[in-house]
Amino acid sequence: ATAEQQLAGRYKVQGYPTIKMFPGGAKTYSDAMDYQGGRTAADIVQAVLAEVDRTGLPKPIPELVSEEVLKENCSGHNHIC
């Protein structure tokens, strides 16, 4: 929270360790939810899977039917390939 104060402020991070979760679907800074569960990997995975079940919004997987669709979905910072 000290090295990236502006980013920490957007997500209302006040110290470490802080874990935030986001609901499925489109997101804004205000959608960040404080994670209150256990801190083991199993606890965090369980909470994430429960959130996916709750929101029911898995990320769509596009059918790669053309070079254009391939480039659109497999390049940049949000790629799936």
Question: What pLDDT, on the 0 to 100 scale, is given for residue 77?
Answer: 63
Q: Are strands 33-34 and 20-21 parallel, antiparallel or unpaired?
A: antiparallel
CA terminus-to-terminus distance, the chain: 32
Question: What pTM value is reported for the model?
Answer: 0.57
- pLDDT tens, position by position, 19-63: 998 887 778 888 888 999 999 999 999 998 898 888 876 667 788
- Cα 24 from chain centroid? 8
Rounded average pLDDT over 52-80: 79
With 70 as the cut, is the pLDDT of residue 81 above it? no
